[in-house]
Structure 1
Amino acid sequence: MADSAMGRRAVLAATAAAAAGAGAAGVAGAAPAAARPSAARPVAGARPGGPVVVRTAAGPVAGAREGGALVFRGVPYAQPPLGALRFASPRPPRPWRGVRDATRFAPPFLQTVDPAGSEDGLYANVWTPGTRGRRPVLVYIHGGGWQVGAGSWPTYDGRRLALRGDLVVITFNYRMGAFGFGYHEELTDDRTGDCANWGLQDQAALLRWVRENAGAFGGDPADITLAGTSAGGASAWQLALRPELRGLIRRIVPISACHVWAPATSLTVPDARRVYEEVAARLGTTVRGLRAAPAAAVQDAWFAVFSGAPGGRVVGSGREYRGPVVDGRWMRAFDHELATPAVPVLSVHTRTEGSFYTGPGSPIPTPAPTDDASLRDAVRGVLLKGAARVSDSLVDGCVDAYRAAAVAEGLPLDPVSLWTDVWGDGLFRYLNVRLAERHARTGTAPGYLMEFAHPARPPWFGTPHEHTSPFLFGTYGLPGNVGACGDGAGEVRVGDAFMDLVASFAHTGVPTAPGVPPWPPFAPGRASALILGEPGGARVAEVSKGGQLGFWDGGGWGPRVLG
Structure 2
Amino acid sequence: MSPIDRRHFLSQLSLATVAVAAGGFVSRSFDKDGFVEVELAPGKLRGVRHNGVNIFRGVPYGGKVSGDRRFRRPAPVEPWTGVRSSVFGAPSMQPPRHNEPAPAEDCLFLNVWTPANDNRKRPVMFYNHGGGFVIGSGASQSQDGSNLARNFDVVVVQTNHRLGLLGFLYLDEIAGDEYAGSGNMGMLDIVDGLKWVHENIAQFGGDPNNVMIFGESGGGAKTSCLYAMPSAAPYFNKASIESGPGVRMTPKETAAETTALLLRELNIAPKDWRKLLDVPAADLLAIQNKLPSVPPFIDKDNKEKPQPGAGGFGPVVDGKVLPIHPFDPAAPDISKNKPLLVGWNEDEYNFFIWQRKEVDLVKIDFEGLQKKLETFHGADTEKMISTYRKTMPDASAIDVLVAITSIAMMGLGSIDIAEKKVQQNGAPVYLYNFGYKSEKKILDTDYPMGTPHAMDISFKFNNEVPPKDPSQPSESFFGGSKPERFVASHHFAELWTTFARTGKPAAKDVPEWPAYNMKDRPTMRIDTKCEVINNRFKEELAMWKSIRKA
**TM over 0.5, shorter chain:** yes
Structure 2 matches for 1:155-554, cutoff 5 A? 155-185=142-172, 188=175, 190-191=177-178, 193-259=180-246, 261=248, 268-281=254-267, 286-306=272-292, 316-317=308-309, 322-340=313-331, 341-342=335-336, 343-358=338-353, 360-362=354-356, 370-381=364-375, 383=376, 394-397=377-380, 399-410=381-392, 412-460=394-442, 461-476=449-464, 482-526=476-520, 528-533=522-527, 537-554=529-546
Number of aligned residue pairs: give it.
514
Is the 8 Å Cα contact of residues 28 and 117 (structure 2) preserved in structure 1? no
Letter in 2 for 1:416: I
Quick one: distance in 2 between partners of 1:329 and 1:364? 42
Letter in 1 for 2:279: A
1:57 matched to 2:41: yes
How far residue 515 of structure 1 moved from its aligned partner, in angstroms, is 0.7
More displaced, 244-253 or 294-303? Answer: 244-253
SS in structure 2 at match of 1:500: helix
Quick one: distance in 2 between partners of 1:425 and 1:324? 23
1:81 matched to 2:65: yes
Q: Which residue of 2 aligns with 1:105?
A: 88
Letter in 2 for 1:463: T
How far residue 80 of structure 1 moved from its aligned partner, in angstroms, is 2.8
More displaced, 439-448 or 125-134? Answer: 439-448
Unaligned runs of 5+ in 1: 1-11, 28-35, 384-393, 559-563
Is the 8 Å Cα contact of residues 23 and 199 (structure 2) preserved in structure 1? yes
Unaligned runs of 5+ in 2: 1-7, 298-306, 443-448, 468-472
What is the TM-score of this pair, normalised by structure 2?
0.84
What is the TM-score of this pair, normalised by structure 1?
0.83
Q: Which residue of 2 aligns with 1:129?
A: 115
Change in Cα spacing, 1:117 to 1:409, as seen in structure 2 (3 Å) is same
Q: Deviations over 1:133-166 (max 9, x none)?
A: 1111110000011111111011111000011121
Q: Deviations over 1:199-249 (max 9, x none)?
A: 111111111111111012111111111010011111112112122332321
What is the root-mean-square deviation in Å for CA atoms of aligned residues?
3.3
Quick one: distance in 2 between partners of 1:546 and 1:369? 28
Change in Cα spacing, 1:307 to 1:126, as seen in structure 2 (3 Å) is closer
SS in structure 2 at match of 1:114: coil
How far residue 414 of structure 1 moved from its aligned partner, in angstroms, is 3.0
Is the 8 Å Cα contact of residues 57 and 212 (structure 1) preserved in structure 2? no
SS in structure 2 at match of 1:244: coil
1:114 matched to 2:114: no
Quick one: distance in 2 between partners of 1:481 and 1:278? 48
Is the 8 Å Cα contact of residues 260 and 324 (structure 1) preserved in structure 2? no
Identity of aligned residues (%): 26
Is the 8 Å Cα contact of residues 35 and 47 (structure 2) preserved in structure 1? yes
How far residue 310 of structure 1 moved from its aligned partner, in angstroms, is 8.6
Quick one: distance in 2 between partners of 1:275 and 1:306? 11
Letter in 2 for 1:498: F
Is the 8 Å Cα contact of residues 519 and 530 (structure 1) preserved in structure 2? yes
How far residue 549 of structure 1 moved from its aligned partner, in angstroms, is 3.1
Q: Which residue of 2 aligns with 1:555?
A: 547
Q: Tell me: higher relative CO, structure 1 or 2? Use CA pairs within 8 A at least 6 residues apart.
A: 1
Change in Cα spacing, 1:452 to 1:317, as seen in structure 2 (3 Å) is farther
